[in-house]
Every structure is written in structure tokens, then in C-alpha cells.
Amino acid sequence: MELADAQREVETISRVYARLHGIERTDDWAVLKLGEEVGELTRAYLAATGRSRHQGDPAELADALRDEVADALGMLMIVAHRLGVDLDEAVERKWLRWKHLVEEQDLEPQP
């Protein structure tokens, strides 16, 4: 799935969710919500890595971490949509232009 496809789907789902729950989606709301989600991601990361007062089942903590990564990514996609950012183009321009520097050993999975 291309980023643009995922971005459109996330935007649609967010719009429906907001309508059902009476949320006014503004640019400010989107950026502030992104900050909230990054904070929740940080909390989940600290819990999953044992550096938080939140204790629990490791599998549940790992699930919570994955959920928060998805929430932060989803909100970032919504922010990008609202601000007119083409994510495919932006990632290509900002990150993938450096792929010529990648060497064979760089392709091995890292922890």
C-alpha cells in the first residue's frame, strides 16, 4: 500500500469517527492530537521496556506499544492531509534520496 492510499483511508475513518463523536476536526486539533499520541507512544514504550511504573503482561504491553505507533502514524497522516503534504513525495524527497548510500551490509535487519 502506498502512503497516499493509507493516508486517504485514515482520513476517511477519522472523519467518520469525528462525526459520530461530535469532534470538530481543525488543523489545531490535528497537530495537538498528534502530540498527544506521541506522548502515549512514549508512555507505552517506557512501559514495554520496563522503565515505567506501569507493569503488566509483556504481550499486552507490546500490543499497546504497537497500537500507539499506529495511532501516532495515523495522526501524522491526518496532519499531512490537512496541510496538503503529499507523503509519498515528501518521504522520497527527504529520506529516499539517500538510498544510493545504502550498502549490502545495511540491508541486514537491525534490532
Q: Which CATH number fits the domain that encloses residue 60?
A: 1.10.287.1080
Cβ burial 41-57 (10 Å sphere, 16+ → b, else e): beebbebbeeeeeeeee
- Model pLDDT, residue 11: 96
- Confirm whether 95 is domain-assigned: no
Cell of 41: 507512544
pLDDT, tens digit, 9 for 90 and up, residues 20-77: 999 999 999 999 999 999 999 999 999 999 999 878 999 999 999 999 999 999 999 9
List Cα–Cα distances, 58 to 26, 37, 53, 79, in angstroms: 37, 21, 14, 31
Structural domain span for residue 40: 2-87
- Confirm whether 68 is domain-assigned: yes
- Model pLDDT, residue 55: 85
- Confirm whether 39 is domain-assigned: yes
- Model pLDDT, residue 54: 78
- Confirm whether 96 is domain-assigned: no
Q: Give the predicted TM-score (pTM) of the model.
A: 0.90
- Confirm whether 40 is domain-assigned: yes
Residue 1's pLDDT band, with cuts at 50, 70 and 90, is low
